[in-house]
Amino acid sequence: MTFNRLFRGLSLVCLFSASQILQAQNPPSVEVFAKPEQIQPFSLKLSPTGDYYALIAPRSDRSSLIVLDRASNTLTANITPEKNQYIVDYWWVSGNRLVMTFGEKQGGFDQPFWMGELMGIDADGKNKQYLFGYRGKDNVGTHIKNSAAMNAHAYVLEPLADEKNAILIGIQKWNESYDSAYLDLARLNVKTGALMMGGGKIPLRDLNPDGILVDAQRKVRVVSGALSDRYSKLLYRDLASGEWLTLNDQKESRRAVLPLAFSKDGKSFYVSVSESGTPDYLGLMDPASRQIKKIYTPETADIGRLMRTADRSDAYAVESYDGSGRGGFVFLDKNAPEALLTKKFSAKFQGELAYLSSFSDDGQYASLFVSSDVNPGEYYIYDKRADALSAALPVRAGIDINASAVVEPFEFKARDGQVIRGWVTLPNEPKGPMPLVVMPHGGPYFVVDRWQFNTEAQFLASRGYAVLQVNFRGSSGYGMDFANAGVGEWGGKMQHDVTDGTRAALTKFAIDPKRVCMFGGSYGAYAAMMGAAQEPGLYHCAIGYSGVYDLQIMRDQGDITRSSSGRTYLNDVLSDDKAWLAERSPTKRAAQIKVPVLLIHGGKDERTPPAHAEAMKRALTAAGNPPEWLYVESEGHGFYNAENRITAYQKILDFLNKHIGPQSK
């Protein structure tokens, strides 16, 4: 892309004018569910002074960074890249300047692929500066100042600029292979793009950028990551010697420790600990003794996010999913101003989750994000002095939360006695026994279904379908043992959990057993086809979206195979025995699939290449059961373009209505 059209003029119309809010329909149109959100969730951030706030506004073919004056709620800047360019994230680096990073739409993912570029701009839209990335001099437009090109990704490690207008970044060079790339530490001037190297290297790869802790002196002190295997290490940098000390080695300790934030004393730091026999818990680590003090140990579900104080010097709460699994907070300091404010808003928005998502430095202003199973989310700005909330800024327009379907927790025992949890979305005012869509999540690892507004589930429920989501073993969210129990269980215990959950739902809810279909994306599509093959009397149709259908193809093709960590992952979760792979592949079980099938795939999918869908189509056709087919050459792993998503959603709805809907036979 060239940058001569990167920045478009400022709009004089506020993004949230009443004329732009779609009126809810009964039921909402397909477009309401398929089109992008009005605000990207968790993207609204207050400036350090509280004078401005910014947010990311997705579109079907790009996204915009919108900056508004808080007091007047008027637009001050609208940064919109050209087609197929997206604002992935941004940071307030001072009271009136932001740094943003870009992504490009590529085939491997349904989300933009992050390119590691950085650009700076003032809150009023002036002083645009290309700061870092592969498009340096002679590759940007005449209205944008630029820095020298560098073929590398930049990670923002400490966003607040120092007195020299510099922020701390990590640089991962492209000319090093992925398997030998480390982060070089450097400082970047956010006004000029001047780069100051010499900060040393982080001696780990496969880093989690959220697990890099920077102290009050803007020095990287704690990191977590891996070397040549899948085992994580936790390193601590001794400032006196400059050496990195190993505080935890998962290979030896048999537990993974992820750093979250420094505590008030600036020495000890909060950690999430994952080990056998317990859900992931919150601890406080003393780097001197290397001991971890348990702060909060949940009973059933892993901890969630750590909530930081307004000045970011400590934490006041941690998310908890214990009990019903709907979510909530465990307060570390019940009398902290942020804790008291969270309790206040939790009481105000009963039945919903209320998060303080950002603060001004003095704590005078805060942004509040409120969401639930029926509410896709809405933002408010809170003025502490006036004790007042702004008008709501909806994440997704056109949704009437009073008409959305409720989501109930669901728990059952699998055939071997393992407790499995999930969710059932129940349509409003069902007329007689309901049709059921079983919707296993993708991944399958490192993913968990939560109590939240799920677009696909709500779309189907608005048309009268109950939706079942099962957190089968292998899902994250329930501890190391539960996650590891899914290793090697493609087509095995993971599949049985979904089957057992379906049968349990049939006994608990008013569901018509002759109107059950399975629909999933990626791994969920695999589960849909395997379910149809293994349980011919249980499922009456199956829908696969960007699916894995042949495990030998998975081992041989796609972007997972391009790195040593990806190949290690495949070796961990799949056998290399060809007979095992064939027995667990839906393409080799096509003759057992007797129900109607719909396959949806993108031609540029690199995660599950089109070879999967083509092989599944051929196998079903050869077995006398040709599938319905939707193939879009321009799409990747999941459809991103709004018009293509609308087409896919309508195709899914038509297919369901035909085979298990009210008019089906």
* Residue 102 tokens, joined: 């870009």
Together in a domain, 545 and 431: yes
The answer to the question of residue 255 being in a domain is no
Q: C-alpha angle 319/325/331, rounded to 5°?
A: 25
Instruction: Please give the C-alpha separations between residue 201 and each of 184, 189, 213, 223, 564, in angstroms, as whole numbers.
Output: 5, 19, 14, 11, 21
Average pLDDT value for residue range 156-179? 84
- CATH number for the domain harbouring residue 512: 3.40.50.1820
Domain final residue, candidates 202, 226, 254: 202
Domain final residue, candidates 376, 397, 418: 397
Bridge pairing between strands 434-438 and 466-471: parallel
Return the C-alpha torsion angle 362, 363, 366, 370, nearest 10. Answer: 150
Together in a domain, 555 and 601: yes
Higher pLDDT, 609 or 230: 609
The answer to the question of residue 303 being in a domain is no
The answer to the question of residue 299 being in a domain is no
The answer to the question of residue 212 being in a domain is no
Average pLDDT value for residue range 110-122? 82
Structural domain count of the chain: 3
Judge whether residue 59 has pLDDT over 60.
yes
Which residue range(s) make up the domain with 651?
Answer: 406-659
Higher pLDDT, 200 or 514: 514
The answer to the question of residue 282 being in a domain is no
Together in a domain, 23 and 61: yes
Together in a domain, 606 and 632: yes
Together in a domain, 630 and 525: yes
Q: Which bin fits 462, alpha (ψ -120 to 50), beta or left (φ > 0)?
A: alpha
pLDDT band, residue 143 (cuts 50/70/90): low
* Residue 473 tokens, joined: 């073993």
Per-position DSSP letters for 388-409, written without gaps between them: EE---EESSTT--TTTSPEEEE
Per-position DSSP letters for 89-120, written without gaps between them: EEEE-SSSEEEEEEEE--TT-SSPEEEEEEEE
Tens of pLDDT, residue by residue over 316-366, are 999 999 999 999 999 999 999 999 999 999 999 999 999 999 999 999 999
Average pLDDT value for residue range 11-17? 32
Higher pLDDT, 217 or 619: 619
So what's the pLDDT on residue 25?
A: 44
Nearest to 213 by CA among 195, 231, 236, 189: 236
So what's the pLDDT on residue 173?
A: 85
Higher pLDDT, 231 or 269: 269
The answer to the question of residue 138 being in a domain is yes
Q: Which residues of 109-141 are buried (b: 16+ CB within 10 A; e: fewer)?
A: bbebbbbbbbbbbbbebeebbbbbbebbeeebe
Together in a domain, 393 and 471: no
Tens of pLDDT, residue by residue over 422-465, are 999 999 988 789 999 999 999 999 899 999 999 999 999 999 99
- State the Rg of the chain over Cα: 25
Nearest to 560 by CA among 497, 609, 510, 525: 609
Together in a domain, 43 and 8: yes
Judge whether residue 24 has pLDDT over 80.
no
Judge whether residue 256 has pLDDT over 60.
yes
Together in a domain, 491 and 358: no
Nearest to 543 by CA among 449, 441, 628: 628
Nearest to 476 by CA among 442, 447, 441, 451: 447
Domain final residue, candidates 202, 235, 267: 202
Tally the residues of the chain.
665
So what's the pLDDT on residue 134?
A: 86
CA 493 from centre of chain:
25
Give the type of residue at 70.
Answer: R
pLDDT band, residue 22 (cuts 50/70/90): very low
Judge whether residue 147 has pLDDT over 90.
no
**DSSP state at residue 509:** S
Together in a domain, 1 and 136: yes
So what's the pLDDT on residue 105?
A: 65
Identify the bridge partners of residue 122 per DSSP, sorted by sequence position. Answer: 97
| Spatial contact of 86 and 64, defined as CB atoms under 8 Å apart | no
Query: What is d(CA 613, CA 618) in angstroms, rounded to the nearest whole number?
Result: 9
Give the type of residue at 596.
Answer: P
pLDDT band, residue 106 (cuts 50/70/90): low
Query: What is d(CA 23, CA 613) in angstroms, rounded to the nearest whole number?
Result: 38
Return the C-alpha torsion angle 104, 105, 106, 109, nearest 10. Answer: 110
Judge whether residue 165 has pLDDT over 60.
yes
Q: Is 481 exposed, middle or buried (0-12, 13-18, 19+ CB in 10 A)?
A: middle
So what's the pLDDT on residue 12?
A: 24
Query: What is d(CA 472, CA 116) in angstroms, rounded to the nearest whole number?
Result: 34
Return the C-alpha torsion angle 500, 303, 287, 308, nearest 10. Answer: 160
Judge whether residue 398 has pLDDT over 70.
yes
The answer to the question of residue 125 being in a domain is yes
Phi then psi for 63, rounded to 5 degrees?
-140, 160
pLDDT band, residue 145 (cuts 50/70/90): low
**DSSP state at residue 384:** T
Tens of pLDDT, residue by residue over 193-215, are 999 998 888 888 777 777 899 99
Host H or E run for residue 462: helix 455-462
Together in a domain, 413 and 392: no
So what's the pLDDT on residue 15?
A: 36
Judge whether residue 140 has pLDDT over 60.
no
So what's the pLDDT on residue 229?
A: 63
Per-position DSSP letters for 174-196, written without gaps between them: TTS-GGG--EEEEEEETTT--EE
CB atoms closer than 10 angstroms to residue 437: 27
The answer to the question of residue 304 being in a domain is no
Identify the bridge partners of residue 319 per DSSP, sorted by sequence position. Answer: 329
Bridge pairing between strands 152-158 and 183-189: unpaired
Q: C-alpha angle 349/352/357, rounded to 5°?
A: 85
Together in a domain, 517 and 457: yes
| Spatial contact of 394 and 38, defined as CB atoms under 8 Å apart | yes
- CATH number for the domain harbouring residue 33: 2.40.128.660
So what's the pLDDT on residue 6?
A: 29
Judge whether residue 138 has pLDDT over 70.
no
Higher pLDDT, 564 or 395: 395
Together in a domain, 352 and 413: no
Tens of pLDDT, residue by residue over 517-552, are 999 999 999 999 999 999 999 999 999 999 999 999
